[in-house]
Amino acid sequence: MHKLRLPVKVELPAALTRMVLDPKATSLHSDYGSFDKPLGGEEGHNRDVEAAVDGTSSGMAQSSDVYQRQPLLPGAPIKSKDKWNGVGSSSDYYEDEEDDKIDGLEHVRHPGLPNGSGSGIIKIDIPAPLREEPRFPKEKWKTFFAFLFMVVNFILTTASLAMVHERVPDRTTYGPLPDVVLDHVAAQDWALNVSEILIMIMSNSAIVFIIFHKHRFIVVRRIFLLMGLLYMMRSITMYVTVLPMSSKTYYCSPKANNTSPLLVSKRVLQLISGFGLSINGKHTYCGDFIYSGHTVVLVLSYLIIKEYSPKKCHPVHWLAGISSFVGVIMVLISHGHYTVDVIIAYYVTTRLWYIYHTMANNAHLKQYGPNNFLARLWWFPLFRYFEKNVSGTLPRQYEWPLPWPRRLLAKHPNRDS
C-alpha cells in the first residue's frame, strides 16, 4: 500500500531563498550532480521557486522542470531518458518500451546473457597479432643445392689426392720432416684404426641429433655448406704443397707416373667407395697432409653435437669432446699426419664454424654494408643465399622425424576419447 503524502507548506529562510533565486548558485555543478535552470527563461525559473515555497500541488507538478544530471558510471546500463513520476509517487523511475532504444538504435536482447540483459553487444574486428617469433622456413631445395655443393667439393678433394699421389717424394730418399710430436712418439699403426672408429661413432651421433632436430633441414644445410667449404680449401692446400710421408710403415699404392683423366677417375671412385677412410682398405693413396681430414671430421662432429643437442646434455657434450680429442691424439700416435696438419685443421674448422654461426645469428651481418667486413669473405654470397630467410637463432627443439608414429598417436577428429 502507498502512503498518502500531503503537501506541507515550508517557509524557507531568507538566505536559502536568495541562494535559490541566485542564478549563480543554481549553475554550480558537483561530481555527483547539479541543478540547472530549465530552458524556460527567468520567468519559468522564478515560478518554480515560488511554487516550491508555497508548497502547492501545482507547484510540485512544476518541480519536474528542475532536474538533476549525473555522470555515467562505468558498467551502469545506459538510459535514453529518465522520467519523473512526481514526488508523491511510490516509484521515482519507471521504464517503458522505448528504454531499449538509444538515439533510434534498438538493443538486441540475447537470451543467453544472465538476467536477460538488454545491453547491446558490439562486435569489434581485431586483426590477428603479428608473429613476433622468428620464422625458420625449411627450403628443402636449398638443402639439396648445399648437398650438391658438398659432393662436388668432396670429389674435388679426392681428385686432388689422386694427382698428389704421383708427386709425393720418394720415401727411400726423403724421410719424415722434423716434428716435435712425431720425433718423440713411436708410430703405432693400430692407433689410426682407433681414430677412424671414433670418427664413425662421432659422425653418426651428430647425424642422430640432426635428424631429431625440429629444424633439421636448416641444420643439415649448414653442415653441407661448411663441409663443402672445408673440402674445397683442403683440396687446394694439399695440392699446392706436397710433404714427404710422415709414416714409415703406412702402405701407399705404386705410382703410375701418369695423371690421365681416366686414371684420376678410377682413383676417385675407389676413394669415394671407402668414404676416405683407411680402415676400409680403399685409402691407399698418399700425400693428403695439409690439412688433416680426420681432425676436421672429429672437431666438426663435436661442434654439431655441442650446438644442436639439448643444452642440458652436459655428459654427452663432455663425452663428445673427449672422444674427439682422443681421436686427434690417435692420429698423431699413428704418424698419420704431422702436428701442423692437426693444428691447421682445428683452427680452420673452428674459425669457420664460429664465423658462420655468428653471421647466421645476427641479421645485420647478413647484409652488405661499409661496416660489415665479414661481407668481404669470398663465400659470403653463398652464405647469404642459404641464410637470408632464417631469422634469429635456431631454438633447441626436437621432434620425431617420421610422420607415421605421430599419426597413430594423434587424436582422430571423430573420436571422443
Question: Exactly one of 341, 357, 364, 416 is catalytic; which is it?
Answer: 341
Q: Is the N-terminal amide bond of 67 cis, ω within 30° of 0?
A: no
411: its cell numbers:
587424436
Question: Exactly one of 213, 283, 294, 335 is catalytic; which is it?
Answer: 294
Return d(Cα 255, Cα 166) in angstroms, integer.
Answer: 6
Question: For residue 223, what are the CA distances in angstroms to 192, 199, 203?
Answer: 25, 16, 12
Question: Exactly one of 45, 165, 213, 337 is catalytic; which is it?
Answer: 337
Residue 2 is among the residues annotated as catalytic for this protein:
no
Return d(Cα 354, Cα 402) in angstroms, integer.
Answer: 31
- CA-closest candidate to residue 353, choices 217, 200, 230, 234: 230
Return d(Cα 341, Cα 343) in angstroms, integer.
Answer: 6
Residue 165 is among the residues annotated as catalytic for this protein:
no
**141 burial type by CB count under 10 A (0-12 exposed, 13-18 middle, 19+ buried):** exposed
Distance of CA 335 to the CA centre of its chain: 46
Residue 294 is among the residues annotated as catalytic for this protein:
yes
87: its cell numbers:
514526488
Instruction: Determine contact, residues 374/380, Cβ cutoff 8 Å.
Output: yes
- CA-closest candidate to residue 331, choices 218, 137, 196: 196
Q: Which residues are catalytic?
A: 294, 337, 341
